[in-house]
Structure 1
């Protein structure tokens, strides 16, 4: 996963950080602290801290006001701590720091993993093939099935979650979030949200769900033989596993998707290339491997498109209000419109 120079508005205090690292890691090598930033992601900020051959990853909330209960660093750290023993793709968490005097907010440190993260291109040196695309698709499905098979009652998550009524709370909660963050009227929203409220599934099963499961949150070994990393656990909870499948499908684009959806934020992901599963193939393999009834999956996909639209709208709202100066967010309203359209058509 590549890093870049830290954006000017998102710099950290290197002196205070180096002093903290020296206190916390007794084997820290001598040398100057180098701080770079991971470019991916639109939510929490993620940095690489490096001194000689020592590397850790730092996660902190975004700058400016944030939505209530969002970007909870302590919660994400607790989730990583609970799941790392069960799921080796989870980065090992090291320490959560509540003291905001060091970088201006709380943060946590975790393991730095090295491998291949795929988004819009394969890395130089990899010749994509239909066989490789199929293999990656299978790994994405099978890892999701494995995550959903972890007994959450055997982890500390059991004390953090309320699985009963999960989808009901999700639907009403995300509709409320949209209303708080909207910056323009979109005609289809009223019909879409009424339909979502009227057709909430009554699935009682609850599992651990990542809830932000997508290809560029996964890391593969250099030979693509296994998934060695899975990142961005801030949305993770215990709830309806089919909601997780729906979210995964809202990110999983295929070649025949509308151009506005494919190109709203630039180039489309590699999943449009020959050999990658279609959404239907992904869902069918998930059903086969998990043994779950997916006959109502279209509801979950529709809701997931709406949920993703709300996340994009919240980001765009922060940009419009001047709470972030990240120019990547200037066109986010186009993605919102594309996702609302996709959700409306999927009904």
Structure 2
């Protein structure tokens, strides 16, 4: 059931000799023979398992051919982990950072591995979850997000990580711009959703309503204890974390949150359509109850989340079309962009979060 690495994908190999020399020079006790494997899931920054004898480390680097610097800033992600770890133990412990391109051809950082169960697009072999367990797991996911949003920004040392005033407006404009820059196919629903978001911005919460937000919070970015799957050991992938409107964090989670009646391509993208999972509306209601935050403009945050996820997928698909990656998973991602466009259209037309196809 433990999430395991595999052989490195063709075209994404690291220079193991140079990397081993770097580790020997900078990490105490790193003299063992280095073995490099790769975690096969994930669609953004590349994640590798480094075995040094009995010790296991994780290396993160930008994807090959990535042009979005702000989304693949290894120094920023390392700083977040280093600063956050003392006040939020679910952040993995960072160890080393390097911007020396002669080592593996890109900036990277290394952290301790947190072993456990990660729920991706199918259950790990040997694992089954009852509807009751899935419901409990959903609430654990929500409670952990609420705990993150309640962190004292000044205690974390990350109050300067973002600019909360005007955050939502900048996010909408920024993701529309990213989509236009990565455009490959005409998807009218994306253009229409972008215009709708611009026209329906919620009131600005400013610094008073700001929180530290993860910005990519979902099942496959949390590590679960194999002995108690409702216990979250770690939260991964902090590359987009910032200070802003916490409901935008909820919106991103909703963007990945498919329900039983949603199109198959979306249901196959994660675990949230299994019996016992909360619906999107139930997720919002549970978060509001646990956090004490008023729901307000939930439809906007859902549409934003769907749009943002579609843009991330579009950027990956564009890199594939340009020949920067050979990962065969990316060949059909344009269909996921179109499916998200249809979801946004249905949500706007029905003014609902859930049951969009029922």
TM-score range, shorter chain: over 0.9
- Within 2, Cα distance between the matches of 1:171 and 1:142? 27
- Within 2, Cα distance between the matches of 1:237 and 1:95? 21
Residues 208-255 of structure 1: CA deviation (Å, up to 9, x unaligned):
110101101111101214100111110110100000001111112111
Question: Closer, same or farther in 2 for the Cα pair 1:68/1:55, shift >3 Å?
Answer: closer
- Within 2, Cα distance between the matches of 1:191 and 1:278? 25
What is the aligned length?
342
- Within 1, Cα distance between the matches of 2:176 and 2:307? 9
Does 2:244 correspond to 1:239? yes
TM-score where L is the length of structure 1: 0.95
SS of 2:171's partner is: helix
Q: Which residue of 2 aligns with 1:328?
A: 329
Shift of 1:260: 4.1
Does 2:195 correspond to 1:194? yes
- Within 2, Cα distance between the matches of 1:318 and 1:28? 35
TM-score where L is the length of structure 2: 0.92
Residues 27-84 of structure 1: CA deviation (Å, up to 9, x unaligned):
2353x21100011111111101102101110001111241242200000001111211
Does 2:17 correspond to 1:6? no
SS of 1:307's partner is: helix
Q: Which residue of 2 aligns with 1:220?
A: 224
Question: Closer, same or farther in 2 for the Cα pair 1:325/1:121, shift >3 Å?
Answer: closer
List structure 1 segments (4+ residues) > 3 angstroms apart after TM superposition: none
Shift of 1:156: 3.0
Residues 232-287 of structure 1: CA deviation (Å, up to 9, x unaligned):
1101101000000011111121111123432xxxx343321211211122111111
Q: Which residue of 1 aligns with 2:353?
A: none
SS of 1:36's partner is: strand
Q: Which residue of 2 aligns with 1:106?
A: 107
Structure 2 segments unaligned to the other structure (5+ residues): 349-358
SS of 1:10's partner is: coil
Shift of 1:295: 2.7
Bigger CA drift: 311-320 or 155-164? 155-164
Residues 277-321 of structure 1: CA deviation (Å, up to 9, x unaligned):
111221111111100001311100001101111111111111111
RMSD of aligned Cα (Å):
1.4
Question: Closer, same or farther in 2 for the Cα pair 1:65/1:246, shift >3 Å?
Answer: closer
Please say if residues 3 and 36 of structure 1, whose CA atoms lie closer than 8 Å, have aligned partners that are also in contact: yes
Structure 1 segments unaligned to the other structure (5+ residues): none
Question: Closer, same or farther in 2 for the Cα pair 1:178/1:34, shift >3 Å?
Answer: same
Q: Which residue of 2 aligns with 1:120?
A: 121
